[in-house]
Amino acid sequence: MGANYANLFEVIAGDVGANDAETRIAELCSELESYLEPVQVEEIYKAYLVGAEAHDGQNRISGEPYISHPVAVARILAEMHMDSKSIIAAILHDVIEDTPTAKEQIAERFGAEVAELVDGVSKLTQIDFRSKAEAQAENFRKMMLAMVKDIRVIIIKLADRLHNMRTLDAMRPDKRRRIAHETMDIYAPIANRLGIFKMRHELLDLSIKAAYPMRYRALESACREVVGYRKEIFNTIEAAIKQRLKETNIEATVKYRQKNIHSIYRKMKEKKLSFKELTDVFGVRILTRSVDDCYRVLGVMHNLYKPLPGRFKDYLAIPKTNGYQSLHSSLFGPHGVAIEVQIRTEEMDHFAESGIAAHWIYKEGESGGSSAQGRALEWLKSLLEMQQKSGSSQEFLESVKVDLFPDEIYVFTPKGDIKKLPRGATVVDFAYAVHTDVGNTCVAARIDHHMSPLGSRLYNGQTIEIICSESSRPHPSWLDFVNTAKARTNIRHFLKSLQKTEAISLGRRLLQQSVSQIKGGDVNISKGKFKKVLDQYHMSDPEELLAEIGLGNRNSSLVAKAMYDVEDDTTVFDDSGKPLAIKGTEGMVVSFARCCRPVPGDAISGFVSSGKGIVIHQRGCPNITERSKEDRQLSVQWSDHVEGEFLAYMRVQVANQRGVLATLAATIANMSSNIENVNLTEKDGRISTIEFVVTVTDRIHLARIMKKLRSLPVVNRIWRR
């Protein structure tokens, strides 16, 4: 076959030996001619020839020649009026993954830009993964990073997924369900985030059809019935709207639309409604020439039919995160039929269909970009930040999933700037939305001028002022209530960095202690000694070795012996030498056992536990004898200047009287202590035992609290565990 696609049209026109693939590429080229230059269409046809040759002999599960799939994907992109390089990449998007064709060959033939697009869409097939979940997560990470460089990667991938969903019937039922759920979880939300609503709706409808076929058929049938008996009512409504708009001299186009199956299914499921209880299965869309006309039309509609209270949304003044703009209102129509009305400009409607692709940033000669592009690029930037701070590809995938389902609220900074957050967001989420440093140092907030804790949930219209302290830092408990991917990723990243810093510091102290025990006094460890063991352990950085020691992954005694050539590989605990001083602030690598909850002033023992650092017990703790053999005992003592608060456990036996718990709580609070946990057990009808976990600064502080409680008439007995 020649490289000139014009010859193909002659073959198709005459139906001279034309096969299905040739017919499809001819139709594609014909559509492309409506908006691309002939030389670009010629290049796309040449890409088809390369793809057809590479996929020669390969068939889809349906039995069709494989080349029919990439041509169909290219057709979807052509309907969106994508650029020529995107179309070429779509036609070649499977050649790296499924054929011997290399990325370099594509770059040589069609340019580096096309090669990067094709590579971005291709899966990682050369790497062996431990699980299917890991493979999916790593491929997703690769695709998203390619998308950050060039957003066309994800648009090609979405078109690829859409055609796969359209032809899913050839798959096994279990595979259909798996692909459908993956589409609902990842690809449809990405299409929504980029504002490509037409594609999103079709992806979700096809996903419901594949995952829940019987439910889909039932809803489809119910919608057809409603169309039948409500058709006359909707014709009346449409005619009334057109007449009223004509009377007010507003130029507008009126369409009536049916709600998508997936939207109906989701609403029925979330609100536990039957199909008959739904009021907005059908709606009206009105397209105007300007934003001013949109608000005029809204006034006309509210004058024509009464609006339903609380059902108006203005996405013109405050667009959605993905750039979507429209006025939404629900009205009481004739015969008690509820009407959902969407009012927007024609340009906004075009964007609602194609999203960021409607304002294509790669079109030659265009500069700048729409606000939609700005939002999309801002989101891509946040994805890159998330990826850099995620510990693994699976953690990154989960973070992005969280970010893809934003049921939004709008809150304000003290200066009046609007911040969009997902519903359920807290003060910490807002702080990180303002700036990472604000999130890392926040301690409290004023919500509408009232002091509020960091875990407070936010609601629409609130004004939030964050209170920061330079000495503050993120706490692991924040991960229990934060709602945004940005906050979660930054907190995890900070805690990992903090743990490493503390582990290096602790590792240095442990190694110095072990070296002092060997040499009989304080000795400075030379670089040569470090280099000797680094070569032995195949490490390049002393800090890496110190962090391993601090986290308990390497024994400091063995490292010290290797440094000074001590031929004794025993790991028996040696109680000689100066014990390690515990300051109480090494929170990430020094933890305090929950079984005995030691506080400063208690006699203590330490155990080096792999991956955790040092765990501190009271010296008489019964669990010490039950420690596993792999944990290693360490000589420790409290520092002269211990910092911070510690949790202490005490058990109080009281007379079973009304208000006794309140009396105890008030007494503890008056002694400058907080109650972290309380548990009440009733021994009999007259006596109760209350278990408290309270904050104290040291053993003396705890003794004062216990003495004060013991003086209360209701207290029979008090003791520590």
Kindly report the three-state secondary structure assignment for every residue of 508-539.
Answer: HHHHHHHHHHHHCCCCCCCHHHHHHHHHHCCC
Q: Is the pLDDT assigned to residue 9 strictly greater than 60?
A: no
Contact present, 253 and 286 (Cβ < 8 Å):
yes
Give the number of other CB atoms < 10 A from CB of residue 705.
22
Strand partners, 613: 609
Residue 367: what pLDDT? 41
Categorize the per-residue pLDDT at 706 as very low, low, confident or very high, splitting at 50, 70 and 90: very high
Q: Given a cut of 50, is residue 342 above it in pLDDT? A: yes
User: How large is the average pLDDT for residues 561-570?
Assistant: 69
Q: What is the pLDDT of residue 404?
A: 55
pLDDT grade, residue 214 (50/70/90)? Answer: very high
Check pLDDT > 60 for residue 531.
yes
Query: What is the pairing mode between strands 636-638 and 613-618?
Result: unpaired
| pLDDT at residue 703 is higher than 90 | yes
Dist. CA 3–CA 48, nearest whole Å? 10
Q: How far is CA 211 from CA 165, 267, 418, in A?
A: 11, 17, 39
pLDDT-derived band at 454, boundaries 50, 70, 90:
confident
Rounded average pLDDT over 468-485: 81
Amino acid 354: pLDDT: 65
Kindly state the average pLDDT of the residues 313-325: 81
Q: Would you state the pLDDT for residue 151?
A: 73
pLDDT in tens, 45-93: 999 988 888 888 888 888 888 889 999 999 998 888 888 888 999 999 8
Per the rule left: phi > 0, alpha: psi between -120 and 50, beta: everything else, 568 is beta
How large is the average pLDDT for residues 206-229?
Answer: 86
Encoded tokens for 130: 């431990």
With beta carbons less than 8 A apart as the criterion, state whether 340 and 280 touch.
yes
211 alpha carbon, distance to own chain's centre:
24
Kindly report the pTM of this predicted structure: 0.56
**Identity of the amino acid at 499:** Q
129-143, 200-214, 550-564: least confidently modelled range: 129-143
Bigger pLDDT: 93 or 277?
93
pLDDT digits (tens, 9 = 90+) for 632-678: 677 788 888 887 788 899 999 998 888 888 899 889 988 988 888 88
* Distance in angstroms (rounded) separating the CA atoms of residues 72 and 79: 11
pLDDT band at 707 (very low <50, low <70, confident <90, very high): very high
Burial (CB < 10 A; 0-12, 13-18, 19+), residue 178, is middle
Would you name the residues annotated as active-site residues? 97-98
Q: In 114-240, at which residue ranges do the beta strands (DSSP E only) sit?
A: none
List the 327-332 sheet strands across, edge first.
252-258, 282-288, 338-345, 327-332, 313-314
Number of residues written out for the chain: 721
The answer to whether residue 207 scores a pLDDT higher than 50 is yes
**Mean predicted confidence (pLDDT) in 32-42:** 88
Higher pLDDT, 559 or 572: 559
Is residue 298 very low, low, confident or very high in pLDDT (cuts 50, 70, 90)? very high
Q: How far is CA 384 from the centre of its chain?
A: 12
- Average pLDDT of the chain is 79
Domains of the chain by start residue, with CATH: 5-214 (1.10.3210.10), 217-355 (3.30.460.10), 407-483 (3.10.20.30), 503-638 (no CATH), 646-720 (3.30.70.260)
Residue 609 CA to residue 613 CA, distance in Å, equals: 6
Instruction: Tell me how far apart the alpha carbons of residues 543 and 315 are, in angstroms, rounded to a whole number.
Output: 52
From the CB of residue 436, how many other CB atoms can be counted at a distance below 10 Å? 18
Q: Is the pLDDT of residue 251 over 70?
A: yes
Are 342 and 285 a contacting pair, CB within 8 Å? yes
Q: Which of 383, 365, 347 is nearest to 144 (CA)?
A: 383
User: How much is the average pLDDT of 172-193?
Assistant: 85
